[in-house]
Amino acid sequence: MALLSLAKVTKRHGDVVAVNAVDLEVPAGARMAVIGPSGSGKTSLLRLIAGFEAMDAGSIRLGGALLGDGQVGLPAHKRQIGYVAQEGALFPHLSIGDNIGFGLDRADPDRANKIAKLMARVGLSPSMVDRRPHQVSGGQQQRVALARALARKPRLMLLDEPFSALDAGLRESMRHTVSDILGAAGITTILVTHDQTEALSFADHLAVLRDGRLVQAGLPEDLYHRPKDAFVAQFLGEAILFDVEMVEGVAQTPLGLVVTDRPKHSGRGQLLLRPEQITVRPGRDGAVARVIGRSFRGPYVRLTVVPLHSATREIALMVSNSTAPAVGDHVRLEFNGTAHMLG
Ligand code: ADP
Ligand code: MG
């Protein structure tokens, strides 16, 4: 069942339609990533859900109850929704403890104890309680922001690119930490990011935004392997796209014949191959391409090849580091699985 339901949610900023008639269902317990390029409306969408801004049109429901309908909405502090912003947005003049306890009753005799428990939950040392935000690291600040958001026992947690200010290694470990904490608490979560790796590793549900519109939503594997269009295909990873002619489900590509996911279908269309669907074998027998570039990427090598029998542009392929051919080599290609036809 959906915990959160959005119907035709719309927000304009002057001439810009930041969020354009978005319909979205977030199942209870889900970890959803909303992904899209900068300016696609991700932050605007989260702020509407949190109640920081009013919609122009549409409705938002949480657990069946209306949070907002058209321009009328429940105030943010009554929504039971936690929010962690990109920069944490801590109060600089308050201690770590008071930042975390900001939403808790000051007269509560158990307040200090609740703050200590929240700090333990997000992995902050008790010795930090009296420090100011500028006296802890960026990763610790984000833990404080998360603890503050958890303090009010939210039914839904909204994370707006909360790891983007952290360096790569820390970003990855924070992602796991946050994911574990929210998973253990069973809190439904929406993470907003422009980073496809982050989205695919965090989420069990994905929604892709472009120009304020929801382009496609579903399971990560479905969106990755069966994207609706070239934008989603390219946004979620390396994509090899060809305009092809299909005969009985088999497409003629510059790299040879490829079986598509439209059995028995004939006609024109756009075909997607993911690099990992292609096995590269060196050799002149049956060669279809020649290697013109090779770039080392750690566990794999990114090859640039040109087809031998077609005027097509260069194509990038990923191969395992141990089997990568050299520049100048001719290669045969094997296709694994079927290629997805877009649209
Ligand atoms: P994202 O978070 O995906 O980068 P935003 O939601 O911040 O995107 O912005 C979506 C669009 O709305 C952008 O074109 C942005 O310039 C515009 N926008 C966002 N907030 C405002 C605002 N307060 N006033 C005017 N335009 C805004
Ligand atoms: Mg944003």
Closest residue by CA, ligand 1 atom 12: 18
Closest residue by CA, ligand 1 atom 26: 13
Ligand 1 in contact with 43 (CB < 6 A)? yes
Tens of pLDDT, residues 148-177 = 999 989 999 999 998 887 888 888 888 888
What is the reported pLDDT for 171?
A: 85
Give the β-pairing of 267-273 and 256-259: unpaired
Mean pLDDT of 317-331: 87
Beta bridge partners of 307: 289
Alpha-carbon dihedral of residues 299, 304, 307, 311, nearest 10 degrees?
150
Which ligand 1 atom lies nearest to the CA of residue 37?
Answer: 3
Residue 52 has pLDDT above 90, yes or no: yes
Ligand 1 in contact with 38 (CB < 6 A)? yes
Residue 88 has pLDDT above 70, yes or no: no
Residue 309 has pLDDT above 90, yes or no: no
What is the reported pLDDT for 163?
A: 84
What is the reported pLDDT for 173?
A: 85
What is the reported pLDDT for 81?
A: 96
Q: Are the C-beta atoms of 149 and 46 separated by less than 8 Å?
A: no
Mean pLDDT of 78-92: 89
68's CB contacts (< 8 A; 6+ apart) are 48, 51, 54, 55, 58, 59, 60, 74
Residue 46 CA to ligand 2 center (angstroms) comes to 9
Residue 321 has pLDDT above 80, yes or no: no
Model-level pTM? Answer: 0.89
Ligand 1 in contact with 40 (CB < 6 A)? yes
Residue 201: band (very low, low, confident or very high) from pLDDT cuts 50, 70, 90: confident
Tens of pLDDT, residues 210-258 = 999 999 999 999 999 999 999 999 999 989 999 999 999 999 999 999 9
Residue 106 has pLDDT above 70, yes or no: yes
Q: Distance between CA 156 and CA 154 in Å, rounded? A: 5
Residue 289 has pLDDT above 90, yes or no: yes
Ligand nearest to the CA of 18: 1
Mean pLDDT of 11-19: 96
Report the chain's mean pLDDT, rounded to a whole number.
Answer: 92
Out of 54-58, 206-210, 280-284, pick the least confident. Answer: 280-284
Q: Which amino acid is at 101?
A: G
What is the reported pLDDT for 276?
A: 86
Closest residue by CA, ligand 1 atom 24: 13
Q: What are phi and psi of 263, to 5 degrees?
A: -55, 140
Q: Is 155 exposed, middle or buried (0-12, 13-18, 19+ CB in 10 A)?
A: middle
Sign of CA dihedral 57, 189, 102, 138: negative
> Hey, what are 291's tokens?
């290697």
Q: Is 213 exposed, middle or buried (0-12, 13-18, 19+ CB in 10 A)?
A: middle
Q: Distance between CA 334 and CA 291 in Å, rounded? A: 16
Packed helices 138-151 and 168-185: angle between N→C axes, nearest 10 degrees: 20
Ligand 1 in contact with 41 (CB < 6 A)? yes
Ligand 1 in contact with 44 (CB < 6 A)? yes
What is the reported pLDDT for 299?
A: 81
Ligand 1 in contact with 36 (CB < 6 A)? yes
